[in-house]
């Protein structure tokens, strides 16, 4: 699933290519792509045609395009890329892609915005924005660590009050958003923390250090266009990022740790995998016996 850097790369592309443009047509090619828009395809189309898109915003792994129109303001198209969703800007003459789900055409006759999704886990839906410009359905998603209003001390307090492991806490989108398996493993490797370490036992300096590593990892990944562990993660022009070449832990099973040379291990975690260094990131004792 795309995480913060991959979604931010898409957001920046949309800002460049679709901000300020007015929608002239909306084609829904597959109902599953708008399943979260419960009033259906006709309503989706009717409400969007004639609206003008403004600068896209993002919270965690969600991004949205405010769509202000003749009928009023405060509407937004929310995009969730899911496992394989792509938002591409393409010439309107380009034939429909095999997995084209939604096509947005513009009154200026320029490039379309197309939502393409091979596995159809992602989708688009409409929502109203609250007074702060946040879609109502995303109100439960926390600010992300690159947000200037993210409160480090509040996060540290909340995490220390929980009975959970630090990796689960990093994946909890209601307390810190935008981090998934890849950037959790990379940040924990940098912080020399095993993901099963109980959060209640982590000190504030350790948590502050972890946040710094998270910001570094996300910033570096963003600068490299994100991670293309799956060739389906692309920017609006269909290009892949290359942070996968810089990964120190995620997906590196058996390769030497860049710090100590021990072979990176893979452990099962919530039906997926966690990658860590057995030497730099020892398992906590309580977790060893379970």
Q: Residue 134's closest CA among 36, 48, 53, 62?
A: 62
**Do 273 and 184 touch, CB atoms closer than 8 A?**
no
Q: How far apart are CA 23 and CA 144, in angstroms?
A: 30
Q: State how far the Cα of 63 lies from the Cα of 24, in Å rounded to an integer.
A: 22
**162 labelled catalytic:** no
Over the window 247 to 266, marking each residue x when it contacts Zn ion by CB under 5 A and - when it does not, the resulting string is ----------x-xx-x----
Min dist CB 85 to Zn ion, Å, is 35
**Catalytic: which of 163, 245, 272, 285?**
272
Catalytic residue among 21, 61, 101, 265: 61
Q: Which of 34, 156, 188, 277 binds Zn ion (CB under 5 A)?
A: 277
- Interface region with Zn ion, contact rule CB under 5 A, candidates 125-133, 208-216, 247-255, 279-287: 279-287
Known active-site residue 272: yes
Q: Is 168 exposed, middle or buried (0-12, 13-18, 19+ CB in 10 A)?
A: middle
Pick 79 or 277: Cβ nearer Zn ion: 277
- Helix residue spans in 19-65 (DSSP H): 41-48
The nearest distance, CB 260 to Zn ion, in angstroms, is 3
Structure token digits, residue 17:
């290519």
Counting contacts by CB under 5 A, is residue 116 touching Zn ion?
no
The yes-or-no answer on residue 2 being catalytic is yes
Q: Which is nearer to Zn ion, 37 or 192 (CB)?
A: 192
Instruction: Give yes or no for a contact between 24 and 107, defined as CB atoms under 8 angstroms apart.
Output: yes
* Nearest distance from C-beta of residue 263 to Zn ion, angstroms: 9
Which lies closer to Zn ion via its Cβ, residue 21 or residue 192? 192
List C-alpha distances in Å: 144 to 4, 50, 110, 155, 232.
8, 32, 33, 11, 24
Q: Which of 3, 6, 8, 196 is catalytic?
A: 3
Give residues in contact with Zn ion (CB under 5 A).
Answer: 257, 259-260, 262, 277, 279-280
Catalytic positions, please? 2-3, 61, 272
């Amino acid at each position: 699933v795309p995480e913060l850097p991959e979604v931010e790369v898409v957001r920046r592309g949309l800002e460049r290519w679709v901000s300020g443009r007015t929608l002239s047509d909306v084609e829904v090619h597959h109902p599953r792509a708008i399943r979260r828009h419960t009033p259906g395809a006709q309503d989706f189309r009717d409400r969007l045609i004639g609206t003008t898109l403004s600068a896209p915003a993002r919270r965690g792994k969600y991004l949205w395009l405010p769509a202000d129109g003749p009928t009023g303001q405060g509407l937004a198209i929310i995009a969730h890329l899911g496992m394989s969703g792509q938002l591409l800007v393409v010439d309107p003459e380009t034939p429909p892609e095999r997995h084209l789900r939604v096509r947005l055409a513009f009154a200026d006759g320029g490039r379309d915005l197309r939502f393409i999704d091979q596995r159809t886990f992602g989708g688009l839906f409409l929502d109203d924005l609250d007074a702060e410009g946040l879609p109502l359905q995303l109100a439960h998603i926390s600010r992300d660590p690159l947000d200037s209003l993210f409160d480090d001390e509040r996060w540290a307090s909340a995490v220390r009050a929980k009975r959970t492991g630090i990796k689960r806490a990093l994946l909890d989108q209601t307390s810190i958003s935008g981090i998934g398996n890849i950037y959790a493993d990379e940040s924990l490797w940098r912080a020399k923390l095993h993901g099963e370490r109980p959060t209640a036992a982590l000190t504030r300096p350790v948590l502050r250090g972890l946040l710094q590593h998270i910001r570094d990892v996300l910033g570096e990944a963003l600068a490299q266009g994100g991670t293309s562990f799956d060739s389906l993660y692309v920017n609006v022009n269909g290009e892949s990022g290359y942070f996968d070449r810089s990964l120190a832990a995620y997906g590196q099973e058996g390769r030497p740790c860049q710090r100590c040379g021990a072979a990176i291990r893979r452990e099962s975690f919530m039906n997926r995998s966690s990658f860590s260094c057995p030497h730099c990131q020892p398992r906590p004792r309580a977790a060893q016996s379970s």
